[in-house]
Amino acid sequence: MRPFKSTISIEEARERLRTGVRPIARTEELPIGAAAGRVAAADLASTLFVPPFSRSAMDGYAVLAEDTRGASRERPARLRIVERVYTGAPPQHGVTPGACAEIATGAPLPEGADAVIMVEETARVDHDHVAICAEGRPGQNIGRKGADIAPGDIVVRRGDLLNPSRLGALAAVGCAHVEVFARPRVAILSTGNEVIEPGTPLGPGQIYDVNRFTLSAVVEAQGGIAEMHTPARDTLEALNEALDACAQADVIIFSGGSSVGDRDLLVDLVATRGQMIFHGVAVRPGKPTMFARVGDTPFFGMPGNPTSCLSNAYILLVPFLRATARLPLYAPRTVSATLGRTIVSPANRHQFYTVTLHGTVALPAFKGSGDITSLSQADGYIEIPASEHTVEEGSSVEVTLF
Ligand code: AMP
Ligand code: MG
């Protein structure tokens, strides 16, 4: 055994992680239909006008505003209809004094017309004539060419998250493909002689690999590509081989073997092949967590206990991953609740405490750091800062929802 000499605070761990982020530099080109949630890698300037032509914003009549001056229900202006303009084809005639064109929403405005009177403010006289019952202002109900976007306008900037509206802006300027930052490749590997893959019968002393699946789900949900590896045994040789197998990844996450037991070899592994940035964080659960750099690759050594592993994935790994993927800060959903039972938290440890919600009352769901149901049967968690020792029944708490 090599007990922890010291731990660092969660704030310090977060700070060192922030400093350790290398935002992904690789890019790839994607069809815009496959780019939702990705991050633009370059500014994109429009080469055209949007709308590409002046168009009607209403179903009605394209007129010369001048011809409608003083028009009202009582004294309508009578105009001759010279054509009917629908969407998708250019008008054949212009509009001259005394004339107008029936026009559909989105159809190109005929030459000469400078206003559209909505159909509700007109009355048809006969097949070729319409009574205009309201005055039109120049420009009224017209979407001018280029009013939305002009050539040279930047529609999406490098670093912008491609949300639905930005994908819409790319489509509007005719952009079929977009250059985005690659999703970071994250190698995930569980360690432990006892850990085997689900799908095979358990032998004596064996357990199924849980962390690989919880971590991959987190990675995939937070902008990464999870690369799952088979569990490695607790020997330096096996761990070295496992680490070699992860060489192509942008981030490596091992779980298990990160504590201080004789078989916890990750410290030795990092000592020979990398540089430790921290080992031991004052959180509960999840103290035996390490962050290192192996070669140029960030390396996480997560605790083997499934709850510790996953809770630290939420509070430490997620912000790191999102920054690596260049995604905006994660804003999980939170609700306010009243604590239904007093919680005693260990002194000087930041606690991640799972709860179930019953209306507005939060009850403890935490069983033990080895119990995955501490999380799987909870609705969310509260965080109790290291400076707080007890949170009294009846106090108001902020629950972060899973
Ligand atoms: P360790 O961090 O390796 O000391 O493991 C702590 C506890 O977590 C032990 O009971 C392990 O058997 C268990 N454990 C380690 N890795 C995993 C895993 N991938 N899935 C489920 N349990 C694990
Ligand atoms: Mg182990």
Closest among 72, 161, 56, 171 to 114, alpha carbons compared:
56
Best probe residue, ligand 1, of 255, 265, 372, 375 (max atoms within 8 Å of C-beta)? 255
Containing 381, the helix (H) or strand (E) segment is strand 380-384
pLDDT at 2 over 90: no
Closest among 215, 188, 192, 202 to 306, alpha carbons compared:
215
Q: What is the mean pLDDT of residues 132-137?
A: 98
Q: How far apart are CA 314 and CA 330, in angstroms?
A: 10
Q: Would you tell me how many other CB atoms lie within 10 Å of the CB of residue 168?
A: 11
- The CB of 305 under 6 Å from ligand 1? The reply is yes
Closest among 31, 41, 35 to 162, alpha carbons compared:
35
Residue 135: pLDDT band (50, 70, 90) is very high
- The CB of 214 under 6 Å from ligand 1? The reply is no
CA of 258 to the centre of ligand 2 (A): 8
- What is the model's pLDDT at position 370? 82
CA of 239 to the centre of ligand 1 (A): 15
Q: How far apart are CA 187 and CA 181, in angstroms?
A: 18
The 3-state DSSP class for residue 11 equals helix
**Between 397 and 371, where is the model more confident?**
397
Task: Give all domains of the chain, ordered by start, each with its CATH number.
Answer: 10-25+183-324 (3.40.980.10), 27-50+147-181 (3.90.105.10), 55-143 (2.170.190.11), 334-401 (2.40.340.10)
Measured N-to-C along each axis, helices 266-273 and 236-245 cross at an angle, to the nearest 10 degrees, of 60
pLDDT at 114 over 80: yes
- What is the model's pLDDT at position 4? 81
b/e string for 198-211 if b means 16 or more Cβ within 10 A?
eeeeeeeeeebbbb
In tens, the pLDDT along 31-90 reads: 999 999 999 999 999 999 999 999 999 999 999 999 999 999 999 999 999 999 999 999
Token output for 370: 């080895």
Best probe residue, ligand 1, of 305, 307, 369, 371 (max atoms within 8 Å of C-beta)? 305
- What is the model's pLDDT at position 242? 97
Best probe residue, ligand 1, of 188, 195, 228 (max atoms within 8 Å of C-beta)? 195
Write out the E strands in 53-190: 55-56, 60-63, 77-85, 99-103, 115-118, 122-126, 129-132, 142-143, 154-156, 177-181, 185-190
